Chain A
């Protein structure tokens, strides 16, 4: 027995898991995190760029809210991000780490684009939309199903598999765009002459300007999905099966759940919704396809799904925050001709604090001697 160890003092800080956290405290911790982030950001802005933090925040706010058109862009981006987040939720609840949303979105978009080009002249508009819709979700579903099939039957690693499928999808899209553009230097908007397969941009006349959206179809369909997925996960039999399989395959097996079937079915759904997001991007936003169509949102959506703990309504809030931050960052960059990285740092600090606040929501710290609990 060594004597040098009997002189230990009580540890300086101990970390203890919280038992229950009230809603009020959660909101307080998160609000405090954002406030703190803004303060840290203010120091950064003032000392590094020499600008007035308050006016920078003002510009950041303008990025989303200055004009109705900006707001409608923000909502459009929110819809896309949220749609992919919703797609990931059931897969993640099943502990199937689908990091292949990017690819699933791309194949959905590619198929939409192909249908627009091939059938844009021949099919009547409603039928054209129907064909685009069905083929895009089918393509996404197949892309999502392939890794789950291998996982179900040969227990392959889904993270690697879905990730690699992204690169395959990107390559296919690169190849197809090259074929489609022919001699032109770039693909450009599809069906420019007759706008076949473009979502009509309309607003609802009696609403005030700020709510009058150009991307009503994108937004409405994602709102429907948000409610639908919430109900599906929480109250449907299939949603229950997903939760059980995610928790323990042994328990699922004992309960008579066909684990293979659930795995594949869930990824069909996850992939299908990703494919639908591709459809929204191509028909409702870009009217064209490129390897950058998904734009990394398939990965950002992972953060959305996780932070919201798979609750689709929280997902909407978090998507909004992310869109607001990224629009604000690019606005700052252009307004002050700052370099992009500076704006990204401001965005990054806010994200860092929000993610960090999760720690204080789940744990509390006890400092030496105080005997007192410190409430984050």
Chain B
């Protein structure tokens, strides 16, 4: 067997935390290997050692059959190893070609024309779509990713590592990426892909390697694997992958949005005449290709985006269902205190709801510290609350004062979602609540949301995964180009119908609320 990379008894620790323990695994030439594991199981650390970012504490790495000391990303490049990280490493003000030229060896001639010609060759070979003269700041996430891959190939990589490449891509973009990956495989290159999406693992990979708590569990040929078997190997026990969708009981109108229009900073209409109702005891899903107004919609309701004149967002408090409270014009804090909570998980997971340098206790305070008239913050209540969230959601943290930025992604999200639901909101809006989460944790969050619904909360769920939207929600509102392009019943709709609504704006007038 011809191996591209072999890891032998590799161990890596950070302080007292063991990220990888005695991992031995092989990557064959010309195969696509999926690396699977729960959040915090050490996948990225392991790959970073192959890519020269970390250096193993013990064990050895063989590249093409020879022992290799990979001390820096440059060493990795020289060995033909390239990694595409979750956070792109590109210069915003440079064009695509200029970014590729950045990695030239000192003795190479700086000849952009020649580079462009070679890049063109690579793009044609693997069917990449890339505009060479486009500046990086004008690129979409998917275009930036393409550029990163081309850059790595240009430097002669035979072994490519992709760390969660599909986390921020649309389904169409993902399909395009997979085609390229298959072309690379046909060219006898080895590709390692980290992803949490099991259906992607099944569709793209040849073999799956599984890590659990930093240790190598097993590997399996993709042909013999199923979603259930992979999950079991990953978690270490049988897991029910069911969303227990309950029937809405006695829905009460909580939110009534009428003619909501929002302009962004560039004065572009990002939400256009949006109208809908949300009911307590149901989950309203919001579907749409990213950037079609989902974020603005939630932010407008939460008071973080100014709504244009003529917009109306009425809120009906618990116990006073007949009295409408107009939310437009109210401050974010007033809206939250009224019972409308927003948990938004941004790409970097921290930047919009948590303070990375503070512990759980400090973060519990974030939205409630202003309560009361005392000059000082309440010391006890947030600690009690942090304790409760930690217990109920099984947050793994060394202590309540450990900075949340040091927790793994899944735990960070539990802290965020846990805080928003722990105070019994009337309306709970979540966006991308499972972004980057492993499948087990994702289902924990889905079931939490369903529980909130059963408690009579009006849940609004913005998500990317259509299967989940259809399984979890009661109704799905589809946004397209900032407009409501239809509200469908999740129990009777199909993926195709929602997909159509996401991409094809219906004619004016028909897109009214049902």
Contact = CB atoms under 8 A, between A and B. Distances in A.
A9 interface: yes
B375 interface: yes
A18 to B, nearest CB: 7
A253 B344 CA distance: 12
Given A11-B55, A254-B304, A19 B15 contact: yes
Interface stretch (A61-69, A243-251, A329-337): A243-251
- Give chain B's interface residue range (CB within 8 Å of chain A): 35 or more
A260 B333 CA distance: 15
Among A231, A238, A256, max chain B CB count under 10 A is at A256
A22 B16 CA distance: 14
Interface in B331-387: 331-333, 336, 342, 344, 346, 350-358, 362, 365-367, 369-370, 374-377, 379
Contacts of A238: 375
B369 to A, nearest CB: 5
A19 B16 contact: yes
Interface in B139-158: 156, 158
Contacts of B344: 254
Given A235-B377, A248-B350, A251-B366, A19 B14 contact: yes
A254 B344 CA distance: 9
A240 B17 contact: no
B299 to A, nearest CB: 9
A98 B55 CA distance: 39
B7 interface: no
Contacts, number: 105
Contacts of A255: 332-333, 353, 366-367
Given A6-B63, A19-B17, A247-B355, A236 B79 contact: no
Contact of A1 (B79, B342, B370): B79
Nearest to B66: A6
A5 B352 contact: no
Interface in A1-30: 1-2, 5-6, 8-11, 14, 16-20
B135 to A, nearest CB: 22
A272 to B, nearest CB: 17
A371 B75 CA distance: 22
Interface in B13-70: 14-17, 55, 58, 63-64, 66-70
A254 B64 contact: no
B80 interface: yes
Q: Is the interface of A mostly helix, strand, loop or mixed?
A: mixed
B369 A2 contact: no
A237 B15 contact: no
B15 A256 contact: no
A372 to B, nearest CB: 12
A89 to B, nearest CB: 16
Interface residues of A, number: 32
Given A237-B376, A256-B331, A250 B365 contact: no
A5 B358 CA distance: 43
B352 A251 contact: yes
Contacts of B71: 8, 10-11
B15 A20 contact: yes
Interface string A145-169: 0000000000000000000000000
Contacts of B357: 243, 247
A236 B66 contact: no
A251 B303 CA distance: 14
Contacts of A256: 303, 331-333, 336, 367, 370
B394 interface: no
Interface in A210-266: 231, 235-238, 240-241, 243-244, 247-248, 250-251, 253-256
B75 A254 contact: no
B340 to A, nearest CB: 12
Contacts of B221: none
A237 B377 contact: yes
B355 A14 contact: no
B10 to A, nearest CB: 14
A250 B351 contact: yes
Interface in A260-281: none
A254 B346 CA distance: 12
A45 to B, nearest CB: 40
Contact of A10 (B17, B69, B350): B69
Contacts of A11: 55, 69, 71
Contacts of B227: none
Contacts of B303: 256
Nearest to A238: B375
A254 B369 contact: no
A235 B375 CA distance: 9
A9 B69 contact: yes
5 contacts: A6-B66, A8-B71, A8-B75, A18-B15, A238-B375
Given A1-B80, A9-B69, A236-B377, 13 more contacts: A1-B78, A5-B68, A8-B70, A10-B69, A19-B14, A243-B355, A243-B357, A251-B354, A255-B353, A256-B303, A256-B331, A256-B336, A256-B370
